[in-house]
């Protein structure tokens, strides 16, 4: 369990976005470096290929974590259909061990809606209250 101090409303997603940018920049740097080193014959093509695979797997792991969060969020909304869940309830259920901001909920709801495609309209925002999953 991750222990964090502070208030949720004091936090923004800015730090998370900065970390994501740093990770992407490092990934790009490692890919470029790997291509140059392989081109300079500093190691074999096979080693360069393994190196690229490791970078890709790390990126997949980050994507997987995001998918797990969105799956938990979707299941929570679905299992409580027709019941409005406040952002606080969503944060407490999905991120119980980590402090996140309201904006984090918004970002994940947006990503979840994109994945749901034509079914996205079933996740309805209730201004000032939260979100609800409605059918029919």
Host H or E run for residue 123: strand 123-126
The whole-angstrom separation of Cα 34 and Cα 14 is: 30
Indicate the CATH number of 13-133 among 3.30.470.10, 1.10.10.10, 1.10.600.10, 1.10.260.40.
Answer: 1.10.10.10
User: Residue 21 is encoded by which pair of tokens?
Assistant: 């940018």
Contact present, 124 and 86 (Cβ < 8 Å): no
Element (DSSP H or E) covering residue 31: helix 14-39
- Residue boundaries of the structural domains of the chain: 13-133
Q: Which of 62, 87, 60, 61 is nearest to 73 (CA)?
A: 87
Per-residue pLDDT of the chain (136 residues; tens, 9 = 90+): 343 444 445 545 565 566 667 777 877 888 888 888 888 888 887 877 787 788 777 777 777 777 788 888 888 998 998 999 999 999 888 888 778 777 888 888 998 998 888 989 999 999 989 999 998 7
pTM for this predicted structure: 0.59
């Amino acid at each position: 369990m991750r222990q964090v101090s502070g208030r949720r409303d004091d936090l923004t997603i800015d730090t998370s976005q900065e970390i994501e940018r740093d990770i992407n920049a490092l990934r790009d740097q490692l890919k470029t470096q790997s291509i140059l080193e392989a081109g300079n014959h500093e190691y074999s093509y096979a080693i360069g290929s393994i190196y690229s695979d490791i970078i890709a797997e790390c990126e997949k792991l980050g994507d997987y974590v995001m998918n797990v969060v969105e799956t938990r969020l979707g299941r929570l909304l679905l299992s409580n259909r027709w019941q409005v869940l406040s952002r606080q309830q969503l944060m407490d259920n999905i991120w119980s061990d980590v402090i996140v901001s309201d904006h984090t909920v918004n970002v994940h709801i947006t990503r979840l809606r994109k994945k749901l495609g034509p079914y996205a309209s079933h996740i309805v925002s209730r201004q000032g209250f939260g979100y609800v999953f409605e059918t029919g």
